[in-house]
Amino acid sequence: MELSERKQKILGAIVELYIKTGEPVGSKSLLSELDMSVSSATVRNEMAELSALGLLEQPHTSAGRIPTNEGYRYYVDNLMVDRQVDESLRRRIEAGFGSGISDPEKLLERAGEVLADLTGCAAVSTTPSGEGAYIRRVEAVPVGTRTAMIVLMTSTGVIKSKVARSDFDLNASVLESFYNVVKASFVGKLLSEVDTPMMQTLVASMGGDVFTLLPLITAVSDLAQEAVHTEVMLGGQSNILHHNNYYGNTAYELLEFLRRGEPLSKLLSTATEGKDVDVKIGSENPYRQLMKSSVIVSNYNIDGNRRGSIGIIGPTRIDYANLIPSVKYLTDLVGELLTQTFKEE
């Protein structure tokens, strides 16, 4: 859709005024914002034409205009000025992470808290994908005579753990045998390769050791299969309740949708294909519960490879010009921190 320069200025001003005030924009208030020598009647005619094009709507007969989803889309794609994250905001984002967070899940949890506080929206992220990841390290930490905490680390930095209980004492000899099996059969193996046939073959080859080592080996297998799956992390869900754009049951339906997790995982995994940042506005989202929401998502990379996504969900009336670069900056920072953690291990 091609718009004249005047229509573009009017549409851009209406979007930005509505984002700022939440009130329908009339021709008089619009004129005070425009650097144009035109009459109020001319502005009203242009607004009427923008409405006919589906970019504006009039919530009430006597009210001013507000952007439609299509109006927001035109603004984001054609009118929005690309803004850099200023130094004070960068320091605020970076300070939010503190230091010493090496667990990817804890880092992403903190990222969600920072992003939710920064944007006033719900923050969502996915843990690093297990696709193509391999087992980097396995540890058995005794916590009792016959009990050990099995810890598995993947090549993407994901750490999983669970308690394993044996019917035999976990003495030095048993633990040495465990590490020999781990080194020979698990370390360096793709997570996706640790499946039932692989475990059946391994158990059959262990001979008499199987009785003492089976609970520990089974725990390693369980953790590997768990690490393959991407998890969705949420932060700031209560922010949804603070936006009056979500009227009636809309906010509660959205909160229930966020709680389910699986649809969000699908949404985030496909949102940024071929893009640095993806913005879906209202009905562009594939789920009914997101029809009144905008979703801004960016990928994070670990050591140059895409491993997950971070984003926000809020009403369509959000400050796209400031939030889009903020999401991108935070996501890039998370990727750098995860890469650094990975290389230090």
User: How far apart (Å, rounded) are the C-alpha atoms in residues 313 and 333?
Assistant: 20
The pLDDT of residue 100 = 66
The CATH class of the 87-129+230-344 domain is alpha beta
Domain coordinates in residue numbering, the chain:
5-79, 87-129+230-344, 135-228
Q: Strands (DSSP E) along 106-224, which ranges?
A: 122-126, 135-144, 147-154, 159-165
Three-state DSSP state, 57? strand
* Long-range contacts of 274-277, Cβ-Cβ distance < 8 Å, separation of 24 or more: 276/328, 277/324, 277/327, 277/328
**Structure token pair of residue 233:** 């992390």
Q: What pLDDT is stored for residue 343 in this prediction?
A: 65
In this prediction, residue 76 carries a pLDDT of 96
Q: Within the chain, which residues score under 70 in pLDDT?
A: 99-100, 102, 271-274, 342-345
Please report where in the chains the tokens 């006597």 appear, as a residue: 62
Would you identify the CATH topology of the domain 135-228? Enolase-like; domain 1 (3.30.390)
Q: Is 187 in contact with 135 (CB distance < 8 Å)?
A: yes
Rg (CA), the chain: 26
Same fold for the domain at 87-129+230-344 and the one at 135-228?
no
Residue 31 to residues 26, 37, 43, 53: CA-CA distances in angstroms?
Answer: 9, 9, 8, 21
- Say how far apart CA 6 and CA 213 lie, in whole Å: 75
Pick one of 3.40.50.2000, 1.10.10.10, 3.50.50.60, 3.40.50.720 as the CATH number of 5-79: 1.10.10.10
